[in-house]
Structures are given as C-alpha cells and as structure tokens.
Homo-oligomer: A and B are copies of this chain.
C-alpha cells in the first residue's frame, strides 16, 4: 500500500470576501470572529476545511453558517500561505469572493455573528492578514469590471445613468465626470433608453435604461483587435 508518511499535514482554512451593492455604493460584509484568538474582532467569514469537503463546499458552508447567506456564487481568489499569518498554528487560507445585491439577500442575513455591511471607505481593523485579502479582492473586482460589464448585473432591470455612475465610482473609488460618463456609456451600445423617467431624485428626472442583452453578451473584444475573442470567462 502506497502512502506519503513523511510529509507534514497543514491546517487549511477558507475566507469569504463578500461585496454588496446597496443601490448607491459597494460595501464589504464583516462579522465578529466567534472564537479565540482575536475573538470578537472584525473578520472575514472564515473557517477550517473539513475532512470530507472540497474548498468550494467549505466556503459555501462557512458563509452560510456565519451569515445565513445561501447559494451565493463565489469565485476562488488566491491562497495565502505566510507562515505567521495565524499566530496559533500554521494555516493556509484559500479566499473566495463574490459581489451581490444587498437587498436581494437581506432576508437571509442571520444575527448570530452580528454581520455588518461596511462602506469600502470605512473598513475597520481586521484580524490576521484579512486586510490584505480584501485589498486583493478589490483589485480583482476592478480588473473584472474594467473588462466585463459585470457591474451592470447588479442594477435593477430599470436603472438610470446616475445610478450606474455611482456604482462605477464606488468600485473605482474615483469621481467621474457626469457628462462624459453618460456619453461614453451610451456609446457602448450596452444600454437601451426607455420612455419612462425616474423623478424622485430631481425635478427634471432621469430616463430609465435597460440592458441590451444581445450586445451585452457579444460585447467582449480584446483591446488587441488582432486576436480572436479568447472566450474570456
């Protein structure tokens, strides 16, 4: 019988980075850590991988147990392995992240570990290397949002251009010029103007738009237009 007797086995954890859009800005979900060390401090949703589960299963279980959130599609981000990242015992952590519509999951949030949504501008001190994990996830989110129209999916079916602009400003942490933004978004062909206006936010109102589903899925073109669409995911 073959075995690998001389190798060290290592603790493996998962940590979940959940961004949420509340209609005006992107926020980060944090909980109070439930065990020592650092019990009670702000933390990502994390836990150890069990004997009989894959990393994806562990991430889904941990997220559900700690927050109640169920069925959130998370993407693997990066595996962190600094030897001193957990002071108790060497633990490598595989991170997963997602961007969700906060309102859609409102009812699922459980109170047990007191989860809270934090503005990306006001993230509190986090345990271990969690701040590094969040920073990498923000980078990845910007990267994806620069290449794919993923942010459009977070908006309601009818949305206004100012709403879309707020979302981009929140992800890229920069104010964007209104007139330019509007002109350029319209020129992508990704949105279709509706006849109806949103009138609660200004006297003049802002036209509603919807996504142009066909253009949306055809949309990816490499910045190098000399290569074929590499079927980016």
Contact = CB atoms under 8 A, between A and B. Distances in A.
A79 B145 CA distance: 23
Contact of A227 (B89, B168, B227, B231): B168
Interface of A: 2-4, 7-12, 36-37, 48-56, 76, 78-79, 81-83, 88-92, 94, 139, 142-143, 145-147, 149, 168, 172, 174, 176, 180-181, 184-185, 188, 219-228, 230-233
B48 A4 contact: yes
A14 B224 CA distance: 33
Contacts of A53: 83
Given A10-B10, A12-B10, A227 B176 contact: yes
Given A147-B147, A222-B146, A10 B49 contact: yes
Contacts of A139: 230, 233
Contacts of A143: 230, 232-233
Contact of A180 (B48, B55, B180, B226): B226
Query: In the complex this chain forms, how many copies of it are found?
Result: 2
B81 A172 contact: no
Nearest to A219: B223
A52 B83 contact: yes
B142 A226 contact: no
A176 B49 CA distance: 46
A92 B55 contact: yes
B79 A226 contact: no
Contact of A226 (B3, B11, B185): B185
B2 A37 contact: yes
Nearest to A7: B48
Contacts of A224: 146, 149, 184, 188
